[in-house]
Structure 1
């Protein structure tokens, strides 16, 4: 667990996944956007218009600011539960 998580809280077992080729760990079932934020990954893509960093905003699937590629498919990170072996990549115009 990282210091960004509440110490002593009961959680499901942690599983491994990757983001941009970097190994990550998070409780199974946790929202991918939350897992990445807890790992310190806040910028998930760049705005197509301004090129500014974008990340999870609404955490309920309305805004699409957390768009990433999950196993090669564009998905909103706030709607994807963490599961073992996920391969998560920034969208092509995104931040590494």
Structure 2
């Protein structure tokens, strides 16, 4: 029988645009944004919000301000307790 402590999912709590969100440990900020239904601040030529495309730091579509630092790649940033993410200006 598995040990309950080993199988319990650990979580972290962060804030996205002022909204508190709890996600499993190891979740990328991009995945947390998708879970929260948020997009990054850039729009395409028709005004539709952009979102991560490649998920590996190549396309730069996932940039957001994290803990006050602008243009951070959210797909390469793991969530941690107290992280502050802003996707709009």
Q: TM-score, with normalisation over the residues of structure 2?
A: 0.79
Q: Is 1:45–1:66's contact at 8 Å kept on the other side of the alignment?
A: no
Name stretches of at least 5 consecutive residues in structure 1 with no aligned partner.
Answer: 1-9
Q: Is residue 31 of structure 2 the alignment partner of residue 15 of structure 1? A: no
Could you tell me which runs of 5 or more consecutive residues in structure 2 were left unpaired when the two chains were aligned.
Answer: 1-6
- 1-structure distance, mates of 2:17, 2:76: 19
Report runs of 4+ in structure 1 exceeding 3 Å deviation. Answer: 48-51
Cα RMSD over matched residues?
1.9
TM-score under structure 1 normalisation? 0.74
Asked whether the 8 Å contact 1:11–1:27 carries over to 2, the reply is no
Larger radius of gyration: 2
1:62 alignment partner, one of 50, 58, 74:
58
Corresponding position of 2:4:
none
Q: Is the 8 A contact 1:28 1:84 kept in 2?
A: no
